[in-house]
Amino acid sequence: MEQATADSGWRGSHEGWLEAAYETLLESGVDSVKILPLAKRLNLSRTSFYWFFKDREELLGALVSRWREKNTGNLVRQTEAYAESIAEAMLNVFDCWLNKDLFDSQFEFAVRSWALQSPEILAEVQRADQTRMEALCRMFSRFGYAEGPADVRARTTYLVQIGYISMQSSEDLALRMKRIPEYIAIYTGQIPQQRELDRFFARHGYRAE
């Protein structure tokens, strides 16, 4: 048991190597995600990498899987979460934009930047975009919107947020919260009830003035 613990210490771990790759991707882009610099970052030997990954391509694939499971998976789940109204359903989606544990905007930006130089990653991003917009469209359909309006509202909701991410737009939390009721009204055609907003604000530790 002691020997196994010692071995894992000098090798690191699968998650440790993946986390280092993730941090490097966010800081410097995919070209910087290389085995030797990661080993130096972790203060581990280069050869210990191969206990966990066959090669750099497998590591990059694990990064893509992490992005897909977190950002796309959580967004889809938020569209399916219980809601009494479309306004509340949209607030569930907005949780993604305010909670990094649900949707990592920096990771999204890094992967989209990576896609500019990789046809394979571009295809991954395009599939993710389609999956996410289809999930939003189903959400609108669930609340009685016809196919055409559901599609347009889903696209508007999603593409605006991707614009925020691509432009690296940053807003003060209070300002963003103040704007949310209008965003909900524009995206859904429904003004959110105060109780719905109160629940949303409470989830994010915000108290309206």
Q: Give residue-wise pLDDT tens across range 91-143.
A: 999 999 999 999 999 999 999 999 999 999 999 999 999 999 999 999 999 99
Q: Which residue has the tokens 């003035």?
A: 209
- Examine the domain organization and report whether 69 and 48 are in the same domain: no
Q: Per the domain annotation, does 208 fall within a domain?
A: no
Q: Please write the tens of the pLDDT for every residue from 51-101.
A: 999 999 999 999 999 999 999 999 999 999 999 999 999 999 999 999 999
Q: What is the mean pLDDT of residues 37-52?
A: 95
CB atoms within 10 A of CB 171: 11
Q: Look at residue 170 and tell me whether its pLDDT is greater than 90.
A: no
Residues 69 and 89 in one domain: yes
pLDDT exceeds 70 at position 1: no
| Residue 59 within a domain | no
In terms of Cβ atoms closer than 10 Å to its own Cβ (0-12, 13-18, 19+), residue 97 is middle
At 151-169, the pLDDT tens digits run 999 999 999 999 999 998 8
Domain membership of residue 153 as a residue range: 64-203
Give the pLDDT confidence score for residue 11 in this predicted structure. 75
Q: In CATH, what number is assigned to the domain containing residue 36?
A: 1.10.10
pLDDT at residue number 187: 97
**165: enclosing H helix or E strand:** helix 147-166
Residue 112: which H helix or E strand, with range? helix 105-115
User: For residue 4, is pLDDT > 90?
Assistant: no
The first and second tokens of residue 119, run together, are 């046809």
Do residues 29 and 110 both lie within one domain? no
pLDDT level of residue 208 (50, 70, 90 thresholds): confident
In a domain, 209, yes or no: no
pLDDT (0 to 100) of residue 183: 96
- Count of structural domains within the chain: 2
Identify whether 105 is part of a domain: yes
pLDDT at 7: 43
Examine the domain organization and report whether 34 and 100 are in the same domain.
no
* 27 lies in the same domain as 95: no
Are 78 and 112 part of one and the same domain?
Answer: yes
pLDDT attached to residue 2: 36
Residue 209 is predicted with a pLDDT of 64
For residue 170, count CB atoms less than 10 angstroms from its CB and return exposed for 0-12, middle for 13-18, buried for 19 or more.
Answer: exposed
Are residues 151 and 125 part of one domain?
A: yes
Claim to verify: residue 10 and residue 98 sit in the same structural domain: no
What average pLDDT does the chain have?
93
Q: Are residues 83 and 104 in the same domain?
A: yes
Q: Which of residues 207 and 93 earns the better pLDDT score?
A: 93
